[in-house]
Amino acid sequence: MGGFFTGRTLADIGRDLRAGDESATGLLARALKSVDPDLNAFVTLDPEGAEAAARWADEELAAGVDRGPLHGVPVAVKDLIDVAGLPTGMGSAHFDGHVAETDAACVTMLRDAGAVIVGKTGTHEFAYGGTGDVSVNGPVRNPHDRERMSGGSSSGSAVAVAAGMVPLALGTDTGGSVRIPAAFCGIAGFKPPYDAIPTQGVFPLSVSFDHVGVLAGSAADCRIAYHALTGPAEAVPSPVDESAPHGRVAWIEPSAIDPDVERTVRALFPDAPSERIDLLGIRQVFRAIQDGEAYDVHAERVAEAPGLYQAPTLERLKNAGRTPGWRYLRAVRERERIAREVAALLDRYDYLAMPTLPITAPKIGETEGPLGPHVPTLVSLTCPWNVLGLPALSIPAGTVHGLPVGAQLITRPGAETLLFDAAARLAH
Amino acid sequence: MGGFFTGRTLADIGRDLRAGDESATGLLARALKSVDPDLNAFVTLDPEGAEAAARWADEELAAGVDRGPLHGVPVAVKDLIDVAGLPTGMGSAHFDGHVAETDAACVTMLRDAGAVIVGKTGTHEFAYGGTGDVSVNGPVRNPHDRERMSGGSSSGSAVAVAAGMVPLALGTDTGGSVRIPAAFCGIAGFKPPYDAIPTQGVFPLSVSFDHVGVLAGSAADCRIAYHALTGPAEAVPSPVDESAPHGRVAWIEPSAIDPDVERTVRALFPDAPSERIDLLGIRQVFRAIQDGEAYDVHAERVAEAPGLYQAPTLERLKNAGRTPGWRYLRAVRERERIAREVAALLDRYDYLAMPTLPITAPKIGETEGPLGPHVPTLVSLTCPWNVLGLPALSIPAGTVHGLPVGAQLITRPGAETLLFDAAARLAH
């Protein structure tokens, strides 16, 4: 813990920059100095490119050109997202030596907002897993306990923020890959509504569920970054019940969960009525659609160079390749049914709350816990919001046995403001 | 051969009815008398219901109510299509004793047009095959050679028309099931554009490809029936080249085909330039999508009562259930690519021509011929037009070794007139 950016908000940084107490080049130097190689957050650092960008940011500011709250801010980018001129490795030997020719759309947005891209962060191989310890680059370590998983797949992005190396990082989230490592590492992670941030230039995992998201120390900073990336300020939706001062929230009962985790997160929402949704059904929908879409992406690699995958990835892909088409078709219908049910719930509540994860970070290399195999356990509470394309925010919600746990807030597309407002109230 | 309706057109019948030389009840009696049980075309006859409908048709005509060209005409309906109060058996032991409560949408249309429904005709089990000899009701026999297949799956509908039992029948066509038996039996069969005749009340085989179609002695009668069922007269599309007196036609090169069949059909289009499309690719698309959709319909039956299927149907379904989801996803993309290619071809030609089938009717029970297993062979030239949802008409095109062969004409949706006009020219 304890890099330069720990405890520093984007507002703090922006104030210092504009007051002349800090410069973009200075912030970059502090970021690079905060990198702790033992945590294995970064797979590529780009000191030269970042230096040039930082210098340009300083020149612009000096000339009165202000690109807003990300101007001059050091940012890390998940190694599944193309940054022109840098390797995109996907955490896989398959892409050893592969260098991106152009920026992903979200990286262009970052640059337009004046951000300084420090480097690329480690990902679970091809983003195909939530543990963050399966990668040709080795496991990314949790700064709260280096023997434990960071969570994944945006492992390095979460750790780079959690350990204060950068104040902000980009990740991707197909079943929880932004929110899971955010929760395990004690930071905030936001998965916007489907397609709110374009995925062009991001290596696909499951195209129906792939989202680009942001990771930062707090929900407030996720909000700032999200707005900086998506342009015009969000509309302010009407809450369901104007007379409810804190917004009407429902607690979604987790299916299987560590009771200490449940108690800790539930305590944040003491008055929220409990509601149930078919979490197990949604997870099956997630699985059937992701299996087909993921194998579609990888079929030729599995056939031609299976040995280049990490063993657990290859095994998952082979299973995915056998999931029959009729299950995909049924999942597509089931998804529509569940979407109608959840939409009805969101007609009655401003937002939904639940834990981000049913457990705290397991040991690196561990594949199974009391709730069963980790891979499905880790996405059990996050993947529903990928299936339904709803905005979902994970925020720090205390610790259990000394490890961070996350609370997850979900709402309807377009009502993201309600989530960020709720998170702001919970933070005070 | 040689039932009452052999050689009698809908125009002949309508003239006789309106001249008072014939009555609907009289036509019904002739239809019932023409039924040859040995051909096994009908699985259910409904003399009482048909008698009531025929009497009503006669009363209406006498009262000056004229419902148009199907008024008082005896019609047969494939046993996959619900007729209220009659069994719908699907050619399967699974639906033994099942009686439909309401009419399928296309049956309502038939009744509104004044048609008299004589009974239900035999289908390949669940319409899942083009041979017409796999059914709990036994094989439907080809009137040109009773040891040979009628083709399927609308086997009984084709034979009822070909043997002169009725002048018109409804069938369904998912991969060629109207056109295949029409061609094998020497009559005309028309598969309209996708969704032109609603499939509500028709047992599904593969929802993306299922069509309701019509079978009659000639293309002219298919045209009359199609218009009577779909309501307002079709618009007359502009041919591609007004100066071409016979419409611009391209010959689509068949992939594998009996050369005698090819020669016979090609002779009808001596001046048509040859074009190629990826027929094998389309067949793979057809297979991958149909596999998923068909098993989706049957999964519970296969799990709970596999023994009620005919053995070949069960084997096909089990294979279909294993086709992976990623192949379905790729097929959906491939279909879009091929649709663009064929649309470009139909920008240059009024219509396309090719044989309906690459072979003449095999012996009943035979599963393989010189071109390979019959099941894929039989749909090889017809299924592309289900995959693409294009209107396709099969017309008699002579005989090879004494057995009928069909020519198939295909155009873009909305341009059906061009097909019927072309068929009329070819018939003279």
End-to-end CA distance of chain A: 23
DSSP assignment string, B299-319: HHHHHH-GGGS-HHHHHHHHH
pLDDT of residue B195: 95
A177 is catalytic: yes
B158 within 8 A of B77, measured Cβ to Cβ: no
**pLDDT at residue A239 tops 80:** no
Q: Give CA separation, B418 vs A355, B238, B353, in Å.
A: 63, 9, 12
Report CA torsion sign: A68, A72, A73, A78: positive
- Interface residue of A287, A329, A332 to substitute, partner B, most B CBs within 10 Å: A329
Give the closest of B291, B323, B330 to A296, CB-based. Answer: B330
pLDDT of residue A302: 98
Distance CA(B131)–CA(B133), nearest Å, equals 6
Mean pLDDT confidence for A247-254: 92
Cis? peptide before A153, omega within 30° of 0: yes
In this prediction, residue A238 has a pLDDT band, given cuts at 50, 70 and 90, of low
pLDDT in tens, A104-122: 999 999 999 999 999 999 9
Residues of chain A in Cβ contact (below 8 Å) with chain B: 288-289, 291-293, 295-296, 299, 320-330
Chain B residue numbers touching A324 (CB-CB < 8 A): 292, 295, 321-325
**pLDDT at residue A357 tops 70:** yes
Give me the tens of pLDDT residue by residue for chain B, a chain 428 residues long. Answer: 689 999 999 999 999 999 999 999 999 999 999 999 999 999 999 999 999 999 999 999 999 999 999 999 999 999 999 999 999 999 999 999 999 999 999 999 999 999 999 999 999 999 999 999 999 999 999 999 999 999 999 999 999 999 999 999 999 999 999 999 999 999 999 999 999 999 999 999 999 999 999 999 999 999 999 999 997 555 455 555 555 555 699 999 998 999 999 999 999 999 999 999 999 999 999 999 999 999 999 999 999 999 999 999 999 999 999 999 999 999 999 999 999 999 999 999 999 999 999 999 999 999 999 999 999 999 999 999 999 999 999 999 999 999 999 999 999 999 999 999 999 999 87
Distance CA(A74)–CA(A72), nearest Å, equals 7
Phi-psi domain of B35 (left: phi exceeds 0; alpha: psi -120 through 50; beta: other): beta
Report CA torsion sign: A25, A31, A37, A42: negative
DSSP annotation of A139: P
Q: A232-238 — which CB contacts under 8 Å span 24+ positions?
A: A234/A414, A234/A416, A234/A417, A235/A414, A235/A417, A236/A417, A237/A412, A237/A414, A237/A415, A237/A417, A237/A418
pLDDT in tens, A126-164: 999 999 999 999 999 999 999 999 999 999 999 999 999
pLDDT of residue A243: 55
Nearest to A249 by CA among A410, A415, A424: A410
pLDDT in tens, A394-409: 999 999 999 999 999 9
**pLDDT at residue A244 tops 80:** no
Strand partners, B142: B145
Judging by beta carbons within 10 Å of its beta carbon (0-12, 13-18, 19+), is residue B51 exposed, middle or buried?
Answer: middle
pLDDT of residue A2: 82
User: Is there a contact between B324 and A322 if contact means CB atoms under 8 Å apart?
Assistant: yes
**pLDDT at residue A414 tops 70:** yes
B33 is catalytic: no
Mean pLDDT confidence for A322-344: 97
B323 within 8 A of A325, measured Cβ to Cβ: yes
CATH code, residues A1-428? 3.90.1300.10
In this prediction, residue A255 has a pLDDT band, given cuts at 50, 70 and 90, of confident
**ipTM value of the model?**
0.91
Give the closest of A291, A292, A326 to B295, CB-based. Answer: A326
Beta pairing, strands A368-369 & A211-216 = unpaired
Cis? peptide before B153, omega within 30° of 0: yes
Please give the distance of CA B412 from its chain centroid, rounded to a whole number: 18
CA of B325: which chain A residue's CA is closest?
A325
Distance CA(A169)–CA(A157), nearest Å, equals 5
Chain A nearest-CA distance from B102, in A, is 26
In this prediction, residue A236 has a pLDDT band, given cuts at 50, 70 and 90, of low
Give me the catalytic one of A78, A135, A157, A191. A78
Q: Give CA separation, A262 vs A89, A184, A256, A398, in Å.
A: 36, 15, 10, 11
